Amino acid sequence: MRSKIDQLLAEIDSLTAVSREELEALRVRLMGKKGSITALFDDFKQVAAEEKREIGQLLNVLKTKAAEHINALRDVLEAKTETSASTDLSMPGHPAPSGARHPLSIVRNEIIDIFKHLGYTVAEGPEVEDDYHVFGALNFPPEHPARDMQDTFFVTTGDNPVLLRTHTSSVQVRSMETARPPIRIICPGRVFRNEAISARAHCIFHQVEGLYIDENVSFADLKQSVLYFAREMFGADVQIRLRPSYFPFTEPSAEVDVSCNICKGKGCNVCKYTGWLEIMGCGMVDPNVLEASGIDSKKYTGFAFGMGIERIAMLKWQVKDLRHYFENDVRFLSQFKTAL
Ligand code: PHE
């Protein structure tokens, strides 16, 4: 009897079951009515009185061990069934939420792309600039209102104060100082003006300005480049109109309108019933500006233009309130997912 108990005790740990059925068969084989452990308990009656205590203890150890082993095997089997139920390989995956490019980035990239086709390269410069690069070198007289505290955020005062650039023309100045013609650059970037925030104005906005300097660059070249841009941006049937204007750094200067792409020139509330939408300022670079940066104005001429990215984006998507571009409301931004 003792040897039978010892043999079973040694065997138990190596017993396995790969299914519920096998496990049940094992349990019956050991502890069922006719199981080997049950049989040992039956035989216990014949054990001699002086051995009863010892054999009884051994039998109880065997019974507990068998029960524990069977429970452990059951836990393993159940854990396995649970995982296989939750790994349904035919289930569709969790959707990975994709972001969207900011509408202003989309338009900026589009503008850059259009001018790249005309041979322009991108130039960048500091947002915190000095008075000379933002105004002085661009022929702004000292008393010009754009230099006023009302318009410009100053960082320091003094002879050549540090300020936040009010346009990216400062990048053009930096290029003219270092590069020699031909120069053909576009300057995208953030600019700052001290304006009350409303649906139509903000103290931060984005510009793309362009500059082309070479021998024999004429106003006709400017007009043709602007027309090419307008048609690429707003459609092949778009017309442009140049109105005389004034900028200290260009002479002559003009404001460019495109025919309203919403009403096709008939008149609507976006173009305020004029049939035209203003998109940029431009002009022939003033000889004073060329000379200030050491470029011979007798040999070289050039044109410059500048536009607000927000304005172009508003016209493209008819966004009525400028503030949407700065609030980062995902409900607004996610609408541009397909516009990449
Ligand atoms: N710098 C001008 C502005 O910020 C735009 C401009 C650029 C106009 C180049 C003419 C030529 O308003």
3-class DSSP state of 255: strand
Domain shared by 188 and 325, yes or no = yes
Q: How far, in Å, CA of 189 to CA of 256, rounded?
A: 20
* Tens-digit pLDDT profile for residues 90-113: 888 888 887 889 999 999 999 999
Please give the Cα distance from 15 to 128 (Å, whole number).
78
Number of domains the chain contains: 2
* 31 in the same domain as 166: no
How far does the centroid of ligand 1 lie from the alpha carbon of residue 173, in Å?
A: 13
CA distance linking residue 57 with residue 93, whole number of Å: 56
Ligand 1 in reach of 115 Cβ (< 6 A): no
Cβ of 250 less than 6 Å from ligand 1: yes
Q: Is residue 319 part of a domain?
A: yes
Q: Clarify whether residues 149 and 35 are in a common domain.
A: no
For atom 9 of ligand 1, the residue with the nearest CA is: 305
Q: How far apart are CA 187 and CA 167, in angstroms?
A: 10
Of 163-177, 250-264, 281-295, 297-311, the poorest mean pLDDT is in 250-264
In a domain, 122, yes or no: yes
The alpha carbon of 146 and the centre of ligand 1 are apart by a number of angstroms equal to: 12
Phi, psi of 291 (to 5 degrees): -65, -40
Cβ of residue 247 lying under 6 Å from some atom of ligand 1 = yes
d(CA 136, CA 133) in angstroms, rounded, equals 6
Is 263 found in the same domain as 292? yes
313 and 257 in one domain?
yes
Tell whether 243 and 195 lie within a shared domain.
yes
Q: Which two tokens stand for residue 41?
A: 């308990």
The C-alpha angle with vertex 302 and arms to 299 and 306, in degrees rounded to 5, equals 165
Same domain, 30 and 109: no
Asked if 109 and 184 sit in the same domain, the reply is yes
> Which pLDDT tens digit goes with each residue over 77-91?
887 766 666 677 888
* pLDDT, position 303: 98
197 alpha carbon – ligand 1 mean position (Å):
21
Instruction: Among 52, 82, 112, give the residue marking a domain's end.
Output: 82
CATH code of 238's domain: 3.30.930.10
- Please tell me the distance between residue 307's alpha carbon and the centre of ligand 1 in angstroms: 7
Instruction: Check if 167 has its Cβ closer than 6 Å to any atom of ligand 1.
Output: yes
pLDDT in tens, 139-188: 999 888 888 776 899 999 988 999 999 999 999 999 999 999 999 999 99
Give yes or no: residues 114 and 167 share one domain: yes
* Residue 68 domain boundaries: 2-82
